[in-house]
């Protein structure tokens, strides 16, 4: 059964009986976990004074646009909450089996959920890697991506010299 509701503005809204109940998302899906990480990113970025925008829809390879003051940066947010073997966390730097490149994004921002840690990694730092591994619990970790831990300054505006 389809119901049409005409608004005062002249728009007509159609609703199929029962359809709304079908779109409720489960809270135990990777999509839901991704949405939680995106919300956490937005909260963190705004608290640091970053200017953040979100593209319309879900079709882009990036989740957010951050205005660095010099250019617009495409940011993909990834998260992990599971500690793996060898005391590590990991994420896949891609979607649908396709790895991200500098044609898709400028940064991937990884959220290690249980530790509330962030890694802000430029795309060129992980080109051709199928997995990004993080060892934040290892004392004196010299993991490949440790230099990007909490590196929010990479997304912030840099002072431009007034030299002429």
Where residue 56 sits, what CATH number does that domain have?
A: 3.40.1350.10
The answer as to whether 67 is a domain residue is: yes
pLDDT (0 to 100) of residue 2: 43
Cross-strand pairs, 133: 90
**Model confidence over 126-155: pLDDT tens digits?**
988 899 989 887 776 667 899 999 999 999
**Model confidence over 48-94: pLDDT tens digits?**
999 999 999 888 999 999 998 889 999 999 999 887 777 788 899 88
Alpha helix (H) residue ranges in the chain: 19-22, 30-47
Question: Tokens 């599971």 — which residue?
Answer: 82
The answer as to whether 53 is a domain residue is: yes
The answer as to whether 15 is a domain residue is: no
pTM (two decimals): 0.77
Q: Give the residue numbers spanning the domain of 128.
A: 28-155
Number of domain units in the chain: 1
The answer as to whether 69 is a domain residue is: yes
């Amino acid at each position: 059964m389809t119901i049409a509701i005409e608004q005062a503005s002249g728009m007509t809204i159609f609703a199929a009986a029962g359809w709304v109940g079908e779109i409720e998302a489960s809270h135990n899906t990777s999509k839901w976990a991704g949405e939680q990480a995106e919300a956490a990113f937005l909260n963190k970025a705004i608290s640091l004074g970053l200017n953040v925008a979100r593209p319309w829809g879900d079709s882009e390879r990036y989740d957010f646009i951050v205005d660095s003051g010099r250019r617009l940066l495409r940011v993909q947010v990834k998260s992990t909450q599971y500690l793996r073997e060898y005391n590590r966390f990991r994420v896949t730097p891609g979607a649908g089996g396709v790895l991200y490149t500098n044609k898709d994004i400028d940064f991937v921002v990884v959220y290690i959920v249980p530790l509330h840690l962030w890694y802000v990694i430029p795309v060129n730092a992980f080109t051709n890697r199928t997995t990004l591994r993080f060892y934040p619990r290892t004392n004196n970790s010299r993991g490949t991506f440790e230099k990007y831990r909490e590196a929010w300054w990479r997304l912030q505006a840099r002072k431009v010299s007034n030299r002429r």
